[in-house]
């Protein structure tokens, strides 16, 4: 499995965690990670004198493919690059062209990228953030804590507290931010993280306790992550679910969905709905529309 795109969103409507992995890579059984490249002195290559597009410019909205049906994916983050695909010739040509412009070092097979660990086996390719989780637990002194069985306590409801005991806003925001990034490979904590992220502007002791509960759960599940396997399935399947009036703050429902492409998980999301649903059926239809849009998009 190669991670092509991961993103996290938050909006005023409530906590939201969303993660995506490129479906083209997920669907292509022959796709292989060719390894990371590193550009030396990326910030010393001169000033920008041309227009820089933050989204594809006109005429480049769609990925151009050859008649062979093979693909090459170039993933760039500052000076770190990952090349993936099943067209060996095109990958070699692309490396040669980049080497003419920049001093590039080939780091071999992909094993670590943006604190995500990549491992290969006969079963497939897995992505995890085990070291990132261990470093986080060590940073806050929780390496010896008692593990929790679930990311959130059963029927836990976070809301406005009468007897408010404030906690450090900066520390709370830093921990929640790290958990949001960790949820890129841990869909099992998405709902819990979306709950605690709703209170980053005014966190209290109850909210920090919920964050610590997530960390205790991570302590007992260090090896969990994403696994992509070769599959004979040629289907796209979406699952959706919703509660009704689950928030004790504004009575809004929380939506959740996940999408499997060729049997592998590629997108998942947990988000509070923007309006108050009049009944559970309305809440369910809203999340179904989100899941269908994700599946068809």
Express each pLDDT in 165-196 by its tens digit: 889 999 999 999 999 999 999 999 999 999 99
Is position 13 within any domain? no
pTM of the model: 0.75
Number of domain units in the chain: 3
The rounded distance, in Å, linking the Cα atoms of 190 and 271 is 9
Position 9 in a domain = no
In the block, residue with structure tokens 């940073």: 139
> Which tens digit of pLDDT belongs to each residue from 98-156?
888 888 888 888 888 888 999 989 989 999 999 999 999 999 999 999 999 999 988 87
Is 5 a residue whose pLDDT tops 50? no
The last residue of a domain, from among 114, 148, 176:
114
Q: Cα separation of 65 and 275, whole Å?
A: 41
In a domain, 121, yes or no: no
For residues 219 and 134, state if they share a domain.
yes
* Same structural domain, 138 and 159: yes
Residues 200 and 136 in one domain: yes
pLDDT > 80? residue 247: yes
Domain shared by 56 and 100, yes or no: yes
Residue of 168, 178, 161, 176 lying closest to 248 (CA atoms) = 161
In this prediction, residues 23-52 reach a mean pLDDT of: 60
Last residue of a domain, one of 114, 139, 165: 114
Are residues 35 and 68 both part of a single domain? yes
Q: Which domain holds residue 61?
A: 23-114
Residue 153 shares a structural domain with residue 201: yes
Whether 122 maps to a domain, the answer reads: no
CA 212, distance to chain mean position in Å, is 21
Same domain, yes or no, for 158 and 71? no
Residues 135 and 65 reside in one and the same domain:
no
| 46 and 71 inside one domain | yes
Taking the C-alpha atoms of residue 163 and residue 259, their distance in angstroms, rounded to an integer, is 41
Same domain, yes or no: 258 and 277: yes
Q: Residue 207: its pLDDT value, please?
A: 92
Asked whether residue 12 is assigned to any structural domain, the reply reads: no
Domain boundary among 114, 139, 169: 114
Q: How far is CA 128 from CA 27, 140, 224, 226, 234, in A?
A: 20, 20, 7, 6, 25
- On whether both 239 and 192 belong to a single domain, the answer is no
Q: What are the residues whose beta carbons fall under 8 Å from the beta carbon of 30, sequence distance 6 or more?
A: 70, 86
User: Domain check: are 221 and 240 in the same one?
Assistant: no
């Amino acid at each position: 499995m190669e991670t092509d795109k991961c993103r996290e969103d938050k909006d005023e409507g409530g906590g939201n965690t969303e993660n995506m992995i490129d479906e083209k890579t997920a669907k292509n059984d022959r796709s292989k990670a060719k390894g990371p490249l590193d550009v030396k002195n990326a910030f010393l290559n001169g000033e920008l004198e041309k227009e820089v597009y933050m989204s594809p410019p006109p005429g480049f909205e769609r990925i151009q493919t050859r008649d062979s049906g093979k693909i090459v994916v170039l993933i760039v983050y500052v000076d770190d690059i990952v090349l993936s695909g099943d067209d060996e010739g095109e990958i070699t040509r692309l490396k040669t062209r980049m080497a003419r412009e920049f001093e590039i070092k080939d780091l071999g097979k992909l094993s670590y990228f943006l604190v995500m660990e990549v491992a290969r086996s006969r079963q497939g390719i897995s992505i995890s953030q085990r070291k990132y989780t261990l470093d986080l637990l060590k940073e806050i002194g929780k390496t010896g804590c008692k593990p929790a069985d679930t990311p959130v306590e059963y029927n836990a409801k976070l809301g406005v507290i009468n007897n408010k005991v404030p906690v450090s806003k900066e520390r709370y925001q830093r921990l929640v931010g790290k958990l949001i990034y960790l949820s890129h490979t841990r869909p099992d904590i998405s709902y819990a993280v979306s709950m605690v992220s709703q209170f980053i502007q005014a966190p209290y002791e109850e909210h920090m306790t919920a964050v610590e509960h997530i960390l205790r759960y991570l302590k007992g599940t260090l090896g969990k992550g994403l696994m992509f396997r070769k599959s004979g399935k040629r289907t796209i399947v979406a699952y959706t679910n919703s509660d009704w009036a689950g928030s004790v703050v504004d009575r809004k429902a929380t939506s959740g969905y996940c999408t499997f492409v060729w049997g592998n998980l590629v997108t998942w999301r947990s988000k509070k709905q923007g309006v108050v649903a009049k009944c559970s059926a309305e809440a369910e239809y809203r999340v179904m529309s989100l899941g269908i849009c994700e599946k068809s998009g």
